[in-house]
Amino acid sequence: MNRPHSRQILSVEEAFGQNGWHTELIDGRDVLRAGFDAHHTRISMIAQAYPQLNALSIVAESMLQLNKTHMPIFYELLARANKQLTLGGFEYDLDRQFIVFRIANLFEREKFDAHIISSMVHCAIAELDRLIPYAATVRNTPEDLLADMDVKRLLEREDLLPPVPGESLEEEEY
């Protein structure tokens, strides 16, 4: 028999609903799934509540297949991108070939604040969507040119950044 969902994950489901985001609660677990079309990629998201801690973890991921010769440069990209972050962090799931962004928060109450949840989701989407074109540049660089790639300079390229919602004539939604 499946145990009932915690108040914490139900408050996450409610916050997603207030934003018009479709979710799927996972039976017997304090986990929900969602999907988002960002500017550069399709993002799969998992939100997991930890009721004993009043904690929430948001995991956003997108497939990114890389060959072994590109991995050292890609790992440098992740390390440099993580160095720039205040909240959350990037990872690469080698087994599934997914680039992953994780962010977590501890809440004071059992019912999580919808504004904080929304901010976590927006952050996860924005950060992953920001990194995808840089990672694609690494992936698409011919092997004989990898040694010449300057990852620090690559991360400074603003032409690869997605538009900031509200700054263009047509506001994009997640």
103-120 tens-digit pLDDT: 999 999 889 999 999 999
The mean pLDDT value for 141-167 works out to 87
- State how many domains the chain has: 1
In this prediction, residue 161 carries a pLDDT of 80
Model pTM above 0.95: no
pLDDT at 8 over 90: yes
Please indicate, yes or no, if residue 173 is contained in any of the structural domains.
no
Average of per-residue pLDDT across 25-33: 95
**Chain mean pLDDT for the chain:** 92
- Tell whether 165 is covered by a domain: no
pLDDT in tens, 61-75: 999 999 999 999 999
Q: Please indicate, yes or no, if residue 1 is contained in any of the structural domains.
A: no
| Domain contains 131 | yes
75 lies in some domain: yes
Within a domain: residue 128?
Answer: yes
pLDDT at 174 over 50: no
Query: Per the domain annotation, does 138 fall within a domain?
Result: yes
pLDDT confidence of 162, banded at 50, 70, 90?
Answer: confident
* Separation between Cα atoms, residue 83 and residue 18, nearest integer Å: 33
Answer whether residue 156 shows pLDDT above 90: yes
Does residue 141 fall inside a structural domain? Answer: yes
pLDDT at 61: 98
Range of the domain at 111: 7-160
Following DSSP, what letter does each residue of the chain receive, concatenated?
-PPPPPHHHHHHHHHHHHTT---EEPTTSSEEEEEEE-SSSEEEEEEEEETTTTEEEEEEEEE----GGGHHHHHHHHHHHHHH-SS-EEEEETTTTEEEEEEEEE-SSSS--HHHHHHHHHHHHHHHHHHHHHHHHHHHS-GGGGGG--HHHHTT-GGGSPPPTTSSSS----
Return the higher-pLDDT residue of 158 and 70. 70
By the 10 Å C-beta count (0-12 exposed, 13-18 middle, 19+ buried), 84 is classed as exposed
CATH number for position 14? 3.30.1460.10
